[in-house]
Structure 1
């Protein structure tokens, strides 16, 4: 049975590390949630380590730049593990070939521009049009506010017929940008896979991003058993299923993507509605909370 809690501090004592999602937990794409920021600061003040684990299809450098712009204090976290970083490694190592069609907006340019030192010796990636491509790297729709996955069905049919592999840099299906819900790369990847295309994914709930988080902690001289780690997130198919697969406890933030399922008060989800829905989805987070605080 999932335990419904009022604050992170109630249950944080047994944990040394938080894997904390960003969008829907710490911010809404436009502004930070002050209570969530304070919760992370309090956890670190007591000696805990916070890894911001995000399915953003960009490198940690770009993620940090955006968080700085939003005003996130440096004492709220220790490191960033981004799906974009995990995807970039596979891309530069040639997992989908060297000539790639980049399906995504210009804001994801850092995947091609900011190359880690240990990958500088890899042959260059050439971005080409779809008809010349050996593979696809998908970071989202070109126009995430006006397009849907169906807009790409024709191009995907051509790519699938040619056997092009897709690297998906963000397994999320959608996010809420303020009050607007927009599709992510995961929705495009889902359609491509349904059409018979081959897709490789690197963010939550897939292993590469958890391997990345552990390697980041190891670089800091830190190593933890799974029972010392708590994953926090609002994405049931990403954050919660990923935590279950990794054998770590999860705190489900109900007031994010699934907010409308659990009653009128987003900050105080109805326990009965929550339990019945989790059971129907075969989800078993140890804890749940309306908003991270």
Structure 2
């Protein structure tokens, strides 16, 4: 049975680390959420470690710059694990080939920068679709256009037998008050057309393995039983954490605000109905991270 709590501090003493989602939890795509910043800061002051675990299809340095510009202070987190970094490891192992077609926007070009932590990475070249051995999707070309506009290109890719590396399993995000499509929507369309997709990020195991390695980088030896995952995506954050055997705090006031009738807190009956429909049972639920 999911327990509705009013603040992270109510359960903080039971955990030594949190894997915290960004979009919808720590920021709204435009600016930092002050109560969330304060909650993570207090958790750290109490001796806890904070890993920002995000499905951003970019390297962690790029994400750090982005959230700083939104007003997220460095003293509320310790390290960052991104789906982009997890996917880049696979790309530079050559898992979808070396000549790659990129579906995404220019700001995601950092995805293709060489990885210093790998020995003997394969050389990657971005090419037109007709010359490609595989596809990297960091997001649609237009986040506000229905992903179906990509159907002609995806059909051609399927005809060529190309595998797609999906660097962000999120289907949608809310940037302020406006909803945007993500790479996960493109990947779902490609799979529905019979294309093969390799997905990285939540809810898939590789990004959780990366988060644990990042946690260990600064000497934090934390068993899974002492890690709390935090997120607003029922199919990514919650599903992924449950699959990894981690406790999870479901932030209902993000992507599922309407379904859970969340204002300050979710309406209990609406929350139960939504969780039953998704066949998920997070450990805790809260309206907003605070």
TM-score (norm. length: structure 2): 0.98
Tell me if 1:267 matches 2:264.
yes
What is aligned with 1:4?
Answer: 4
Tell me if 1:276 matches 2:253.
no
What is aligned with 1:218?
Answer: 216
- Quick check: 1:29–1:178 contact (8 Å CA) kept in 2? yes
What is aligned with 2:192?
Answer: 194
Name the SS for the 2:96 alignment partner: coil
Tell me if 1:175 matches 2:188.
no
- Quick check: 1:82–1:203 contact (8 Å CA) kept in 2? yes
**Cα-to-partner distance string for 1:186-225 (whole Å, 9 max, x where unaligned):** 0000110111111001100001100101111222222222
Name the SS for the 2:148 alignment partner: helix
Alpha-carbon distance in structure 1 between the residues aligned to 2:74 and 2:277? 39
Alpha-carbon distance in structure 2 between the residues aligned to 1:131 and 1:228? 49
TM-score (norm. length: structure 1): 0.97
What is aligned with 2:153?
Answer: 155
Name the SS for the 2:136 alignment partner: strand
Name the SS for the 1:261 alignment partner: coil
Name the SS for the 2:102 alignment partner: strand
Aligned residues: 290
Gaps of 5+ in 2: none
Name the SS for the 1:260 alignment partner: coil
Superposed counterparts of 1:10-21, under 5 Å? 10-21=10-21
Deviation at 1:116, TM superposition (A): 2.6
User: Which of 162, 165, 183 is 1:185 aligned to?
Assistant: 183
Deviation at 1:120, TM superposition (A): 6.3
Alpha-carbon distance in structure 1 between the residues aligned to 2:131 and 2:115? 27
**Cα-to-partner distance string for 1:160-200 (whole Å, 9 max, x where unaligned):** 12110000000000000111100000000011011111100
Alpha-carbon distance in structure 2 between the residues aligned to 1:209 and 1:95? 16
Alpha-carbon distance in structure 1 between the residues aligned to 2:214 and 2:285? 27
Deviation at 1:121, TM superposition (A): 3.3
Alpha-carbon distance in structure 1 between the residues aligned to 2:28 and 2:74? 19
Deviation at 1:280, TM superposition (A): 2.2
What is aligned with 1:241?
Answer: 239
Q: Which shifted more, 201-210 or 155-164?
A: 155-164
Deviation at 1:118, TM superposition (A): 2.7
What is aligned with 1:144?
Answer: 143
Alpha-carbon distance in structure 2 between the residues aligned to 1:262 and 1:86? 31
Alpha-carbon distance in structure 2 between the residues aligned to 1:262 and 1:199? 31
- Quick check: 1:232–1:251 contact (8 Å CA) kept in 2? yes
Alpha-carbon distance in structure 2 between the residues aligned to 1:184 and 1:85? 17
Name the SS for the 2:13 alignment partner: coil
Gaps of 5+ in 1: none
Alpha-carbon distance in structure 2 between the residues aligned to 1:148 and 1:271? 33
